[in-house]
Structures are given as C-alpha cells and as structure tokens.
Structure 1
C-alpha cells in the first residue's frame, strides 16, 4: 500500500506542476514551440509504468485514478479552469491507454513496454489536451502541441534510464511480471 500512496502523490504533484507550467512558454524563439509543462508531464508516464511493472495493471490504474482525482481538484484551485478540464480529460484517457499498452507488452524486452506505451499515451494526451485547452484562444497551440509531443518523446527516451535503475531497487510483487532483457 505504501508504494501505491507514493505513486498517487507523485502523480498528483507531477500533474499539478505541469498544469501550472503549461501556461508558461519557454523564452525567446522557443516561446511558440514549448511550454515548461512539456518537461514535467512525462514523469507521469514514468510513475504509471513503474507502478505497472512493480505492482501490476490494477495497481497502476488505481494510481492513475487516485492521482487524477487529487490532481483535478488541486488544478481547479491553482490553474485555469479550462487547463484543469483539458488536463483531466487528456490525463485520464492517455494514462489508462498507457496502462493497457504497457500491460500487453510487459513480457517484451524491458524497454519496449515503457517506451511504446508512453509514446502512444503521449500522442493521445497531447492531441486531447492542446485541442481542449487552447483551441479558439489565439495562442499558438498547434505549434505548442508539436513541440510538446517532441519533448515528450525525448523525455520518454530519457526516462528509460531512471525506469531501469528504479526497477533494480523496487521489488515487484509476487505475481507481477519480471523485467525481461
């Protein structure tokens, strides 16, 4: 249960921070392409995938749902309402998709499940979030979405190292699948 609570808290903090940071574009020439939230949100996939690998898909879904509930409430307090709604919608759909894809690929070489599930989840999250949050605002949301997705792919690749390292520290429960490769 301790692992679930840590996962839920990590998820909530990651999503709330990302919902605040997505309103702040990077300075200079990157302002039309990236917001700071592009670098924090991919950690949510790392949390989901670590939970899924160590505790199984049911535990990962619990972390997603509980993290979602906490993050939406907190985001409604600290972020723009439209951002909070877009985030909640995109987060729930993308994270549940990530859990399902990861679970289907869990027997593959250790890096395939987190990389492929995060990539697919990131594409869905980006499309849903930016279209709901920013369409009709006059902001450069299409280029933010392209920049955001690119950053998420880079972060998914970068998160493979911590995923592998943390999997050597985290003890999987008895019926969770072992790491392959």
Structure 2
C-alpha cells in the first residue's frame, strides 16, 4: 500500500461508516437511506482498479471490510427499541455480501478493462451489486437460513405481501431486496460520469 491508495481507503471507510449509520433510517416503505450511499463503494473500487490496478482495489476492499466488521460488532452491542441494532445474521450477511461482491467487482473489472471505458465499471458494478443484494437479504432475512441465529425472530420478514406493493405475493424481504437492487442498478448508471471524470483527473495528476 502506498500514499496514493490512501484517498481510496478513506473514501471507502467513509462510505461504509455512513451506510452503517444511515441503514437505521427508513426511506419510504422498502428502502433505507443507506441504500443510496452504499453503492458508491463500487465506484471507489472501480476507480482504484482503473488507476492503480486490481491489487490496490483489493486492498481498499479489505480495508472497507475490516471497517464494516467493526461497525457491525459495535452495532450488536447497541440495544435499540426492538433489540440490538445489528443482529448476528445481519452482521454475517453484511460482511459476506460486501467482501464477495467487491472482490467479484475487482475480478470482472480487470477482465474487461481493455474494452470501452464504460464497459468494465458498468458490468462489474451490476454483477457485484446483484451478488451483494442476493447474499445479504437471503442471509439476513430468509426463513430457510434461520439456523444461523435461531434466537433471532425474523418472521416479520416472511410476511406475504405484493412484490414492492403491486406484484405477485412474496415474502416481505424479497420486496426489500428488489427495491435495494433497483437502486443499485440506477446508481451504477449514474456513477459512470463521475467515474470518467475522476479517472481522467487522477490520470492527469499522475502524468
């Protein structure tokens, strides 16, 4: 790790901490405010990958993972109105989803880096985001994985409701996952311009 990697690490740390705080606050019926900050982590990873290479990107991911684990451990010790702010299922799901999705992002980006400038960041973010959503919500809320934390009652997440309010009847957590995934997809597209601008400026500064 070099001093050039420090901005990426600090940016990732800020995103992870902010997302862990903002996830406690609802945005509408299906989302939390954290859904809008967390996807920026993929932008940071992709910028580091483009400018400094996959090794630097992985170092930033591992730093973010360590900070995320620390945030989750702190959250498990803070008791809110309905129990710990972070259950062990959420902690495990969050950590595993982050690490898997971000490292997958690094691999996909590196494989596509020689193509059009937008191809690698878009494809890697879409694939990583999909893996992140699937892993987190299934581990944290699926009744099929209740054995992970038997004492944690997540029966509320299995309540049958129309998919995001108007689709077929599915467990509530599926609607939460779909809403989260749609936000990630939208932000993946919006992040292309900031990616292009940041990469150009960093490359110019290095040159």
What TM-score do you get using the length of structure 1 for normalisation? 0.87
Q: What is the CA distance between 1:173 and its match in structure 2?
A: 10
Q: What is the CA distance between 1:72 and its match in structure 2?
A: 1.1
Judge conservation of contact 2:93–2:140 (CA < 8 Å) in 1. Answer: yes
**Which is richer in strand?**
2
Q: 1:164 matched to which residue of 2?
A: 196
- Structure 1 pair 134/13, CA: closer, same or farther in 2 (3 Å)? farther
Q: What is the CA distance between 1:172 and its match in structure 2?
A: 7.8
Give 1:42's match in structure 2, choosing from 39, 44, 52: 39
1:35-57 per-position Cα deviation (integer Å, ceiling 9, x unaligned): 22211111000000000000000
What is the SS of the residue equivalent to 1:108?
Answer: coil
State the alpha-carbon separation in 2 of the partners of residues 2 and 71 from structure 1.
22
What is the SS of the residue equivalent to 1:125?
Answer: helix
Give 5+ residue unaligned stretches, structure 2: 76-84, 144-153, 158-171
Q: 2:110 matched to which residue of 1?
A: 103
User: Which portions of structure 1, spanning 4 or more consecutive aligned residues, are displaced by more than 4 angstroms?
Assistant: none
1:106-133 per-position Cα deviation (integer Å, ceiling 9, x unaligned): 0111001000000000000000011112
What is the SS of the residue equivalent to 2:14?
Answer: helix
Judge conservation of contact 2:23–2:34 (CA < 8 Å) in 1. Answer: yes
Give 1:80's match in structure 2, choosing from 78, 83, 86: 86
1:153 equivalenced with 2:150 (yes/no):
no
- Structure 1 pair 172/98, CA: closer, same or farther in 2 (3 Å)? farther
What TM-score do you get using the length of structure 2 for normalisation? 0.76
Q: 1:89 matched to which residue of 2?
A: 96
Give 5+ residue unaligned stretches, structure 1: 175-181
Structure with higher RCO (Cα < 8 A, 6+ apart): 1
1:138-164 per-position Cα deviation (integer Å, ceiling 9, x unaligned): 132211100000000000001111001
Instruction: Tell me how large the CA RMSD over aligned residues is.
Output: 1.8
1:143 equivalenced with 2:149 (yes/no):
no
Judge conservation of contact 2:105–2:128 (CA < 8 Å) in 1. Answer: yes
